[in-house]
Amino acid sequence: MNTLIFRTVAPFLTALMIVFSIFVLLRGHNEPGGGFIGGLIAASAFAIYGIAYGVAAVRRALWFHPLSIAGAGLMLAVVSGLISAFAGVPFMTGLWIYPHLFGVEVPLATVMSFDIGVYLVVVGSITSIALALEEKDDA
Amino acid sequence: MITLFCLLLPFLAAVVASPLTRKFGHNAAWFLALAPACSFLYFASHLPEIANGEVVTGGYAWVPSLNLSFSWFIDGLSLTFALLITGIGTLIVLYAGGYMKGHPQQGRFFAFILLFMGSMLGVVVSDSFLMLFVYWELTSITSFLLIGFDHTREAARRSALQALVITGGGGLLLLAGLLFLWNISGITQLSLLIHGGDLVRESPFYLAALLLILGGCFTKSAQFPFHAWLPNAMEAPTPVSAYLHSATMVKAGVYLLLRLNPVLGQTPAWEILLPFFGGITLIVGTFLSLRQTDLKLMLAYTTMASLGLLVMLTGFDTQHAISAAVLYLVAHSLFKGALFMVAGIVDHEAGTRDVTRLGGLRSAMPITFGAALLAALSMGGLPLFFGFLAKEEIYYALAGGNLRAMLFTAVAVIGNALMFAIAFAVALKPFLGKPVKTPKHAHEGPVLLWLGPVVLAGLGLFAGLFSSTAHRFISSPMASAIEDKPVQVTMSTVPHLGMPLLLSIITVALGALVFWRLAQARVLMSRFIDALGPGPDRAFDAFIAGLVKFSSAVTRIVQPGRMDVYVTATFVLVAVTLLVPPIVYGELPALPAWPVDVMLHEWVFLAIAAIGVVAVLTASNRLTAIVALGIQGFAVAVLFLLFGAPDLSFTQFMVETLSVVILALVMTRLRLMPSDHRPVLQKLGDGAVAVACGLGFMLLLLKATQGTFNNSLTEFFNAYSKVIAHGANVVNVIIVDFRGTDTLGEIAVVMITGLAILALIRIRTGSTTLKPRDNDPDAPEGEGA
């Protein structure tokens, strides 16, 4: 797998795929996409990077342990669900705010943070499995 | 409110027991005894009003929709028990202060015994069934902790486990019985239930409810053949024996029988089962106690016998029998608590409790001897003592002209006579005669030790002397509560000529004879019992060993440890589930019409999918097969796209990609042969399973699409996705909003799967042998690692 072409292209491909995965995640509410599929794209991006440069490079680049990312995602999803409790509505009820950022109305919702949680869980879990499998036995 | 506080007081004291003991050592007992003493005084303050036939009730709603509450109900029966538990509990805490002095875990011991006290108190004042059951099981758990207190010894651990299995298992029977009562009557409160006895007795489920509740009571009160745990529980420190086996744990079963007497009693089943089991327990208990030489074991078996006597009397169900049970219960609590504590003092000060190695301690331990003598006089049922009243009332209740009465009278006389002999064997043998050299130089124990037995033994005398007061405040209200109608107990300590006195004299004479010839009787009894073969104690061991063997056999069958067996079993089951019901019920789908308007590009992708499958099957190398599987999956994803499911196809693309990557990685990890080496026969078998699964899914999908499609959900989501959830992508809105809780569960599963796979990859066969740590809490850290 260590061909020159692949090693040269891999970082750009990975970056592109991660940007794309975030794009897919955010457009998911209105167009095909969403947290789950976005997470899968990001996970395959890390897999490509890992195949090109090795597991250690991916772990360095990720900074956090992949399962910590997954755990954070699960936490975010649960918290997103719980916020509705403070508004006096049932668990997991979507709440929306419409702040104006730089003159543009940006709809934000607990639904969105929930979807980001899904994204993180998928990225974290799949990446952790893939990296653990890629690692040599001496790990 | 104060009642609640008094109920919780022992638990609160348990919390502070450890720190207090660390600070004050064994003198912490003086502080800790305040908790049960306060409860005792509070309960005692209710004596006059309870004696006038009033009751104390209170409580809080727990689950109102199920009609469950945390509520208490104190009448004569509950009050007597509460006074015994808190009163003897106070003395036991003090006694434990002296007995366990210097023990490194004395604080823990105090905490356990106070926890047990709180649980026991809860049992006797509970009004609602659920509260009763919770406290009932709490007593099983806390007694497990107490019996296994000396946890470094295997015998103690075994006894603790045995007690937990027997009494805890009985607790489950009790729960089932209480649920029966609830279903029959619709009542969840004892105070209401005791007035609705006819409803229960006439129910077709009466016998089932009775048997289940008796299962709970008989295991708790150590009735034959569930008695093995009681003598084994003597492994516990003596304060535990004195407390559990005089007034508390073992009396819980008797308490419940007495409590439910108005509900379940007055039926043939009740009047046959209880006297029968009680009578057997009485005889077996006294016989077994006769062969013992250990002071504690002698007392333990007489406790079992006394419980048998109480159950027998409860089952007799006449007014006098109930009065006799009441009197004997109170008398027994007092003298048995005292005698156990005496046995503990002798053991503590002389270093042994083997009656054949003790003697002549009276000059060294005069106070203990006095207490022992008073208690034994009460246990033997001699005039002036409370035990005498109990025995007179017993004979008064049992004696009669018919065969049944004569039989049970004979049982009671034999039992009482043997208990008389044991009582004096415990109270006289260690103290009289020539001084024998004991392991420790014997002298009188400190005040903490002798206070308890002196008070209890003295009470046995005072209650006998002032019997009318005792009857007014204790016996009569208690008997009235059991009978659910006003009852006056009038038995006085002055002997009256008549049948009961005659039987008493026979009992004493017989008892004295056995006492005189105790050594011979012991040998005789040992031979007799040995000839009978192993008892329920061995049966328990055999049962536990059999259970372990059975479960490991089942585990070996269900989990042989071969992955291919698991996978094959799973898929065979899937195929069976998919194929058998449609065939059996004739629900196979109709053959679909051949599609006419399939476009050329659709044909192309179908062909690619087919080629992928063929490639998987014919690939000579595993890696090629995995990639070919990916090709097939991509072709299917494109078909999804063509049929208007972009989200699905999108996800399918990614899943296929990652599957190929991960499968390839797994392949490199497993270091398998690059090609497949299964024998042809196995390949055919596996192939058949695969085809069956595929066929099953195809039939299921065909059937599903041939039915009329209910599109109300589609319409709902299309109509409301934008309006309610502000999202145009219906699929995603369903995932994150309408069915968000489902998704939460799913991502939790994804996360846990990730963790599990990581753990699996980290385990290398051979490199780490998992060794279970010894769960000894006192072992130094890191020892078992």
For chain A, say whether B743 makes contact (Cβ under 8 Å).
yes
| Cα-to-chain-centroid distance, residue B642 | 62
Of B657, B729, B758, the CB nearest to A29: B729
Distance from CA of B730 to the nearest CA of A (A): 8
Residue B779's pLDDT is 46
Work out the minimum CA distance from B720 to partner chain A, whole angstroms: 13
* pLDDT tens digits, one per residue of B595-617: 788 888 888 999 999 999 999 88
* pLDDT score, position B241: 86
Q: Which residues lie closer than 8 Å to B90 by C-beta, 6 or more apart? A: B33, B36, B37, B40
Q: Which DSSP letter does residue B27 get?
A: G
The answer to whether the Cα torsion of B590, B596, B598, B604 is positive or negative is positive
- The 10s digit of each residue's pLDDT in B240-264 is 888 888 778 888 889 999 888 888 8
Burial B386-399 (b: 16+ CB within 10 A, else e): bbbbbbbbbbbbbb
- Other Cβ atoms within 10 Å of B710 Cβ, number: 8
Contacts of B743 in chain A (CB under 8 A): 77, 114, 118
Peptide bond connecting B225 to the previous residue in cis, omega within 30 degrees of 0: yes
For residue B448, what are the CA distances in angstroms to B23, B89, B345, B453? 18, 13, 10, 10
Mean pLDDT, rounded, for B216-227? 87
Cβ–Cβ < 8 Å for B499, B395: yes
| Per-residue pLDDT, B774 | 46
Predicted-complex ipTM score: 0.90
Low-confidence winner among B77-86, B205-214, B527-536 (lowest mean pLDDT)? B527-536
Q: With contacts defined as CB-CB under 8 Å, which chain A residues touch B662?
A: 126, 129-130, 133
- The amino acid that residue B232 corresponds to is N
> B681: Cβ–Cβ under 8 A, 6 or more apart, which residues?
none
- B:640-669 residues touching chain A, CB 8 A cutoff: 646-647, 650-651, 654-655, 657-658, 661-662, 665-666, 668-669
pLDDT digits over B408-456, tens only? 888 888 888 888 888 888 888 888 877 777 777 777 778 888 888 888 8
What distance in Å separates residue B613's CA from the closest CA in chain A? Answer: 24
**pLDDT confidence of residue B725:** 78
Domain assignments of chain A as residue spans, ordered by start: 4-134
Task: Say what the pLDDT of residue B776 is.
Answer: 47
Asked whether the beta carbons of residue A34 and residue B647 sit closer than 8 angstroms, the reply is yes
Q: Do A70 and B751 touch (CB under 8 A)?
A: yes
Which of B660, B747, B762 is most worth mutating to test chain A (most A CB atoms within 10 A of its CB)?
B747
> Closest partner residue to A115 among B728, B736, B758, by Cβ?
B736
Q: Do A35 and B736 touch (CB under 8 A)?
A: yes
Of chain B, the percentage scoring pLDDT greater than 70 comes to 97
Q: Which residue has the higher pLDDT, B74 or B64?
A: B74
DSSP states along B61-113: EEEGGGTEEEEEEE-HHHHHHHHHHHHHHHHHHHHHHHHTTT-TTHHHHHHHH
User: What pLDDT score does B580 carry?
Assistant: 92
Query: What is the CB-side half-sphere exposure of residue B710 using CA atoms within 13 A?
Result: 2
Token readout for B570 is: 């799973």
pLDDT tens, residue by residue, B173-218: 999 999 988 888 888 888 888 887 788 888 888 888 899 999 999 9
Put simply, the answer to whether A128 touches B758 (Cβ < 8 Å) is yes
Q: What pLDDT, on the 0 to 100 scale, is given for residue B515? A: 82
Range in B32-41, B458-467, B597-606, B664-673 the model is least confident about: B664-673
Which one is predicted more confidently, B359 or B119?
B119
The listed range with the strongest mean pLDDT (B23-27, B38-42, B621-625) is: B38-42
How far is it, in rounded angstroms, from Cα B416 to Cα B414? 6
Mean pLDDT of B564-578: 91
The mean predicted confidence, pLDDT, of chain B is: 84
**Judging by beta carbons within 10 Å of its beta carbon (0-12, 13-18, 19+), is residue A20 exposed, middle or buried?**
middle
Concatenated DSSP letters for B224-288? TTSTTHHHHGGGS-HHHHHHHTTTSHHHHHHHHHHHTHHHH-SSHHHHHHHHHHHHHHHHHHHHH
